[in-house]
């Protein structure tokens, strides 16, 4: 179920996602930067939501 061996595709094929079998050496740093960005956006949206929150009846 592993899909078999890798096929010798031409090297001149380019894609924005990184090619046929993309395994960048800095994947850990890329993942950390993406995770930090997601956390920053979530934190910002959370704060804006908390500032604009209005309730009819307090809990």
User: What pTM does this model have?
Assistant: 0.59
Residue-by-residue DSSP string for 12-49: T---TT-SSS---TTHHHHHHHHHHHHHHHHHHHHHHH
**Residues 6 or more apart whose Cβ sits within 8 Å of residue 6:** 20, 21
**In contact, 27 and 33? CB cutoff 8 Å:** no
Q: What radius of gyration do the chain's Cα atoms show? A: 22
Residues 4-56 have pLDDT tens digits of: 676 666 666 667 666 666 777 888 998 999 999 999 999 999 999 999 999 88
């Amino acid at each position: 179920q592993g899909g078999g061996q890798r096929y010798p595709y031409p090297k001149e094929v380019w894609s924005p996602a990184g090619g046929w079998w993309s395994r960048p050496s800095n994947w850990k740093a890329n993942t950390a930067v993406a995770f930090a960005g997601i956390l920053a956006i979530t934190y910002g949206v959370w704060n804006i939501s908390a500032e604009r929150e209005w309730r009819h009846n307090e809990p």
